[in-house]
Chains A and B, each alone.
Chain A
Amino acid sequence: MTFADLLVQLVNGLAQASTLFLLASGLSLIFGVTRVVNFAHGSFTMVGLYAAIAMAERLGGAAGFWLALPLAALAVGVLGAVAEMLILRRVYQAPELFQLLATFGLVLVLKDAALWLWGPEDIFGPRAPGLSGSVELAGLAVPAWDLFLIALAPLLLLALEALLARTRWGVLVRAATEDRHMVGALGVNQAWLFTGVFALGSALAGLAGALQMPREPASLGLDLVTVTDAFVVVVIGGLGSLRGAFLAAALVGVVKTLCFALGGVEMGGTTFNFSKLTLVVEFLLMALTLVLRPWGLAGRAPAAAQESPALVEWVRVPGVRFAAGAGAALLAAAALPLLADEYAVVLATDIAVFALFAVSLHFLMGPGGMAPFGHAAFFGVGAYAAGLLAQAAWPMAAALLAAPLAAAAAGLAVGWFCVRLSGVYLAMLTLAFAQIAWSVAFQWDDVTGGSNGLVGIRPAPWAADKAHFYWLVLVFGGTALALLWRVLQSPFGFALRAARDNPRRAQALGIDARRVQWLAFPAAAAAAGLAGALFAYSKGSLSPEAMGIARSVDGLVMVLLGGLHTLAGPVAGAALFTWLQDEIIRRTDYWRLILGAVILLLVIAFPRGVVGGLRHAWKERS
């Protein structure tokens, strides 16, 4: 690698950083004022890129290209304002997890809207008129568009800072970022302030998308890739800080390209390939930041304790009747292969696997009172552990016992970091760990098979029959479920709820609240890992998607469908979700739209979950 190569990569990295800053500044502004971490931010970028290409083509010529940039940003700003008024306004008072979920519902809806409008194929945009060539720089050819982007970021930072410092609106935005209750108490119309900030943030995201026209094609996968990058930058820089976002964007952009530029490096006799780290490195930076400086490089600890209203309800300890009911349900489930066809048995296997996954997530969310947004990591670790052991010719039974142990070890490590944070910061850190796990699976080709994944994970001959495997899942999953429920009724389960209900009281009673929450992680992770291992054997193959963001979100939807305050809720939620998804996917290409709408409905209309909500309504009536 020559110095010249490095310089070219550096320009590329800074151009990326510029885009990252545009993304992150909008996300950060929105978070600062509304305290909502907007998952749909990347979707606005995606829509911005599609819209800009469509407009540039419709308008035509050089003027069309340059006009399309602000027009696309404006259109996305309006879209953001509408989304804020229809959806986000209703979840400002909800716990962080509900807010994240609501904005994820928006992600799904926007993705299918883009699919309907622009189709599944990637669309290439026009090159920038006048800036399509390259510029000679120290004897090197550097793309002119990249230099344009690099110049844009600092100008935008100055413009935004001027907006916030010089205008009355900007002063209100800064005041709301400091203390939004005070701003409300002073008689400022908060609703319009929030809508305005959301529109501006969305417009910035749209502009970031539009500016990608000459660099990359518009594609439907852009939303999640973009938003996770933006999360990383905002968290490293400090939620709510523009300068922090600027610094962090430069840091992430440069470090990523450096990894790519370094390539294979000889170290102690073996070649270490740094280019395989491009995905994982940004999440490592984010995790490191959250651990060392939880409020980011330039962020500050929130002024007032931002505790969301605790979702604490009385929980009756289940007795003999609950155990008898659960046993009867298990027996009924076991009779299924005698009555139904193979399709139903395979679906029921999926339901049983995801029920275990949902119950393990509920363990942390409900009794644990935490907001994990990356539970798929443990599912994935269990699945990959089983897959790798199967390839190493371990017997299935041994692999099914070892996989939960591997996941528990991951839970112990991840949990140690996570319990030091709370609320949205904990959610972000779990997300970072899940993305690290996903990146490792995606980029470590030699071991995990990369994006192709692992194949040939066959169950033992005695369990190869679909019905036999289903019974095996019921036995393993039922045992794990019973154990988790048992733990909830144990002193440890009580201590876990105590740490959630009133941590100060728990400390004064000699209970180490943080330690209790920490140890809840390996327990939940082991169960999720077992679900992952059973999943791997039931499908016969694995891909990194097994631990993607979508899987974590599926789990959250299942738990919220069932409700946080019922033990059986997550099982019902998993059954309903898995069955519905199967039905919908068979009937339409737009299943995401329906899932997204269901999520939005759930979060806005049924914050207690469907089962919990119906039960509550029943109690209110009687």
Chain B
Amino acid sequence: MALLEAEQLRKRFGGVAAVDGVSFAVAAGERVALIGPNGAGKSTCFNLVGGQLAPDEGHVRLHGHEVTGTPPRGLFRLGVGRTFQVAAAFASMSVVENVQLALLSRAGRAFGALARAVTAFRAEARALLLRTGLDALADRPCGQLAYGDVKRLDLALALANQPRLLLMDEPTAGMAPAERHALMALVSAIARESGLAVLFTEHDMDVVFGHADRILVLDRGRLIAAGDAATVRADPEVKRLYLGEAAEGPS
């Protein structure tokens, strides 16, 4: 059974159908990219799955359970991790404290008012930082990190609840090209090890073709193509969509 199933999702904003009957599924261990030109409905689709928006019609299922319209903090409890396009962690805390808070929340202890937070889950937090390549920066104030490191911290936070589904909105936006592949290689390795399903949106086609097992192409709210890199590359609709635009100059 697919880990994540989206069925006939629809969302309108005023007169515009931002997402118009989109269905897809993501299996455990699979990395799926959601692409399309600006205004294709990627972000809306992503936010419908991530609980930031509720669909007008359609269903989102996790492990076969209905989770349509469940808010982000409910999805966190069901094993969904999420990173943000503009990554920003908690600036008043150090890197390791950020992760410790995420671990405390997973353990349902974020409302404890008398325990000391800085000693809780320290080892586990360090292990997560080691895994994401941030170990050397553990005690840095998070406001002083380079942007690439903030992106990694965002990933570490998203992994704190040992998610089965990872939602990444533009995971490499704002990063240097070399850093992009390092980050996505890390995500791929983690997905392989733990059977984590990854759904991500991305503008960088190198990243998409290099790190996605399957690609979903959206245009004007509809799914126009789906398949592996070769299939999508060869798809005439996709060619028209991207090459046609490229011929007219960058938008």
Give the docked Cα–Cα distance between A487 and B118 (Å): 12
Taking a contact as CB atoms closer than 8 A, the residue among B71, B114, B142, B158 that contacts A490 in the complex is: B114
Additional pairs, 7, CB under 8 Å, beyond known A507-B73, A511-B73:
A312-B91, A313-B91, A490-B113, A491-B112, A493-B113, A508-B82, A510-B73
Pairs A–B under 8 Å by Cβ, sample size 17: A314-B93, A314-B141, A314-B142, A314-B144, A490-B114, A490-B115, A491-B101, A491-B110, A491-B115, A494-B97, A495-B105, A498-B101, A502-B88, A508-B72, A510-B76, A510-B161, A523-B113
Closest to B140 in A: A314
Distance in angstroms from B172 CB to nearest chain A CB is 18
A615 close to B (CB within 8 Å):
no
Give the docked Cα–Cα distance between A504 and B71 (Å): 11
B130 close to A (CB within 8 Å):
no
Interface residues of B (CB under 8 A from A): 50, 71-73, 76-77, 82, 84, 88-94, 97, 100-102, 104-106, 109-118, 120, 141-144, 157-158, 160-161
Distance in angstroms from A8 CB to nearest chain B CB is 52
Give the docked Cα–Cα distance between A490 and B112 (Å): 7
A497 close to B (CB within 8 Å):
yes
Task: Say whether A491 contacts B109, CB under 8 Å.
Answer: yes
A416 close to B (CB within 8 Å):
no
Give the docked Cα–Cα distance between A366 and B71 (Å): 28
A315 close to B (CB within 8 Å):
yes
The A-B contact count (CB < 8 A) is 119
User: A residues within 8 A CB of B144?
Assistant: 314
Give the docked Cα–Cα distance between A566 and B223 (Å): 53
A505 close to B (CB within 8 Å):
yes
Closest to A498 in B: B90
User: A residues within 8 A CB of B88?
Assistant: 501-502, 505
A519 close to B (CB within 8 Å):
yes
User: B residues within 8 A CB of A506?
Assistant: 90
User: B residues within 8 A CB of A317?
Assistant: 97, 117-118
* Chain A 454-492 near chain B by CB (<8 Å), digits 1 or 0: 000000000000000000000000000000001101111
A545 close to B (CB within 8 Å):
no
A292 close to B (CB within 8 Å):
no
Contact count band on A: 20 to 34
A509 close to B (CB within 8 Å):
yes
A512 close to B (CB within 8 Å):
yes
Task: Say whether A510 contacts B77, CB under 8 Å.
Answer: yes
Task: Using known A-B contacts A314-B143, A508-B72, determine if residue A494 contacts B114 with beta carbons closer than 8 Å.
Answer: no
Task: Say whether A510 contacts B110, CB under 8 Å.
Answer: yes
Task: Say whether A494 contacts B117, CB under 8 Å.
Answer: yes
Task: Say whether A509 contacts B101, CB under 8 Å.
Answer: yes
Q: 10 closest Cβ contacts across the A-B interface?
A: A314-B141, A510-B76, A501-B90, A492-B113, A312-B91, A491-B104, A491-B112, A495-B110, A508-B82, A510-B105
Distance in angstroms from B141 CB to nearest chain A CB is 4
User: A residues within 8 A CB of B105?
Assistant: 495, 509-511
Give the docked Cα–Cα distance between A506 and B104 (Å): 12
User: B residues within 8 A CB of A491?
Assistant: 101, 104, 109-113, 115, 117, 120
Task: Say whether A505 contacts B84, CB under 8 Å.
Answer: yes
Give the docked Cα–Cα distance between A315 and B94 (Å): 8
Distance in angstroms from A188 CB to nearest chain B CB is 30
Distance in angstroms from A407 CB to nearest chain B CB is 17
User: B residues within 8 A CB of A312?
Assistant: 91-92, 143
Give the docked Cα–Cα distance between A310 and B111 (Å): 23
Near B by CB (< 8 A), chain A positions 304-325 give 310, 312-315, 317
Taking a contact as CB atoms closer than 8 A, the residue among B71, B72, B84, B90 that contacts A497 in the complex is: B90
Give the docked Cα–Cα distance between A492 and B89 (Å): 17
Closest to B90 in A: A501
Task: Using known A-B contacts A491-B111, A510-B76, A511-B105, determine if residue A314 contacts B94 with beta carbons closer than 8 Å.
Answer: yes
Task: Using known A-B contacts A492-B112, A494-B101, determine if residue A315 contacts B92 with beta carbons closer than 8 Å.
Answer: yes
Give the docked Cα–Cα distance between A492 and B113 (Å): 5
Give the docked Cα–Cα distance between A490 and B111 (Å): 8
Closest to A506 in B: B90
* Chain A 507-537 near chain B by CB (<8 Å), digits 1 or 0: 1111110001001000100000000000000
